[in-house]
Amino acid sequence: MQKEKTFHQDRCVAPSAIAFTEREGVPRYKTPRSLSIKEIGDVVEAFKNGAIRAQKAGFDLIEIHGAHGYLISTFLSKATNKREGEYRGAQKTDFAY
Protein backbone atom coordinates (compact mmCIF):
# COMPACT_ATOMS: atom_id res chain seq x y z
CA MET A 1 0.00 0.00 0.00
CA GLN A 2 1.38 3.40 -0.97
CA LYS A 3 1.71 6.02 1.74
CA GLU A 4 -0.64 8.93 1.00
CA LYS A 5 1.38 11.85 -0.34
CA THR A 6 0.56 14.64 -2.71
CA PHE A 7 2.76 16.52 -5.13
CA HIS A 8 2.47 19.72 -3.08
CA GLN A 9 2.89 18.22 0.38
CA ASP A 10 6.39 19.57 1.01
CA ARG A 11 5.70 22.93 -0.66
CA CYS A 12 2.53 24.04 1.13
CA VAL A 13 2.33 27.82 1.62
CA ALA A 14 -0.17 30.22 3.20
CA PRO A 15 -0.38 33.76 4.55
CA SER A 16 0.59 32.46 8.01
CA ALA A 17 2.10 29.22 9.27
CA ILE A 18 -1.26 27.87 10.48
CA ALA A 19 -2.67 24.53 9.35
CA PHE A 20 -6.16 24.65 7.79
CA THR A 21 -8.78 22.90 9.91
CA GLU A 22 -12.24 21.79 8.95
CA ARG A 23 -15.36 21.59 11.13
CA GLU A 24 -13.91 19.23 13.71
CA GLY A 25 -11.17 21.76 14.50
CA VAL A 26 -8.48 19.12 14.02
CA PRO A 27 -5.81 19.95 11.42
CA ARG A 28 -5.82 17.35 8.63
CA TYR A 29 -3.10 18.99 6.61
CA LYS A 30 0.56 19.84 7.02
CA THR A 31 1.35 23.22 8.57
CA PRO A 32 2.22 25.54 5.68
CA ARG A 33 5.17 27.87 5.36
CA SER A 34 4.29 31.57 5.54
CA LEU A 35 4.70 33.42 2.24
CA SER A 36 7.05 36.41 2.02
CA ILE A 37 5.78 39.71 0.59
CA LYS A 38 7.70 38.99 -2.63
CA GLU A 39 6.17 35.52 -2.89
CA ILE A 40 2.67 36.97 -2.45
CA GLY A 41 3.40 39.28 -5.39
CA ASP A 42 4.60 36.28 -7.38
CA VAL A 43 1.35 34.41 -6.65
CA VAL A 44 -0.75 37.41 -7.71
CA GLU A 45 1.30 37.65 -10.92
CA ALA A 46 0.81 33.92 -11.58
CA PHE A 47 -2.99 34.26 -11.24
CA LYS A 48 -2.90 37.27 -13.58
CA ASN A 49 -0.80 35.41 -16.15
CA GLY A 50 -3.16 32.43 -15.98
CA ALA A 51 -6.13 34.70 -16.72
CA ILE A 52 -4.27 36.26 -19.65
CA ARG A 53 -3.47 32.80 -21.06
CA ALA A 54 -7.13 31.77 -20.70
CA GLN A 55 -8.25 34.91 -22.54
CA LYS A 56 -5.74 34.30 -25.35
CA ALA A 57 -7.02 30.72 -25.60
CA GLY A 58 -10.51 32.05 -26.26
CA PHE A 59 -12.17 31.76 -22.86
CA ASP A 60 -14.68 34.47 -21.98
CA LEU A 61 -14.74 33.77 -18.26
CA ILE A 62 -12.56 32.27 -15.54
CA GLU A 63 -13.52 31.16 -12.06
CA ILE A 64 -11.10 31.46 -9.18
CA HIS A 65 -12.03 29.04 -6.41
CA GLY A 66 -11.60 30.82 -3.09
CA ALA A 67 -13.03 28.43 -0.50
CA HIS A 68 -12.35 25.15 1.30
CA GLY A 69 -8.80 25.96 2.42
CA TYR A 70 -7.37 26.94 -0.95
CA LEU A 71 -4.80 29.74 -0.89
CA ILE A 72 -7.24 32.60 -1.54
CA SER A 73 -9.55 31.49 1.28
CA THR A 74 -6.65 31.31 3.74
CA PHE A 75 -5.89 34.97 3.03
CA LEU A 76 -9.53 35.95 3.63
CA SER A 77 -9.91 34.10 6.93
CA LYS A 78 -8.99 35.58 10.31
CA ALA A 79 -8.42 31.99 11.49
CA THR A 80 -5.62 31.27 8.99
CA ASN A 81 -4.25 34.75 8.27
CA LYS A 82 -2.48 36.40 11.21
CA ARG A 83 -0.52 38.86 9.07
CA GLU A 84 -0.49 42.58 9.82
CA GLY A 85 -0.65 45.37 7.28
CA GLU A 86 -1.48 45.06 3.61
CA TYR A 87 -2.20 41.32 3.58
CA ARG A 88 -3.93 41.00 6.96
CA GLY A 89 -6.85 38.66 7.53
CA ALA A 90 -10.38 39.83 6.84
CA GLN A 91 -11.70 42.53 9.14
CA LYS A 92 -15.34 43.20 9.97
CA THR A 93 -15.44 46.22 7.65
CA ASP A 94 -13.65 44.60 4.69
CA PHE A 95 -16.81 43.07 3.26
CA ALA A 96 -19.38 45.68 4.22
CA TYR A 97 -21.73 46.50 1.35
Q: What is the pLDDT of residues 21-66, one digit of tens each?
A: 776 767 677 889 999 999 999 999 999 999 999 999 999 999 998 8
**Which of 8, 29, 70, 87 does the annotation list as catalytic?**
70
Give catalytic status of residue 65 as yes or no: yes
Give catalytic status of residue 29 as yes or no: no
Identify the pLDDT of residue 62.
92
Query: In this structure, how many other beta carbons lie within 10 angstroms of the beta carbon of residue 75?
Result: 21
Residue 91 lies in a domain: no
Residue 89 lies in a domain: no
Measured CA to CA, the distance from residue 36 to residue 41 in angstroms comes to: 9
**Which of 8, 29, 68, 87 does the annotation list as catalytic?**
68
Give catalytic status of residue 8 as yes or no: no
Domain extent at residue 54: 13-76
Identify the pLDDT of residue 77.
87
Residue 39 lies in a domain: yes
Portion of the chain with pLDDT greater than 90, in percent:
44
Measured CA to CA, the distance from residue 94 to residue 97 in angstroms comes to: 9
- Relative to beta strand 33-34, strand 13-14 is parallel
Identify the pLDDT of residue 91.
67
The mean pLDDT of the chain is 82
pLDDT bin (cut points 50, 70, 90) of residue 3 is very low
**Which of 8, 29, 65, 97 does the annotation list as catalytic?**
65
> How many structural domains comprise the chain?
1
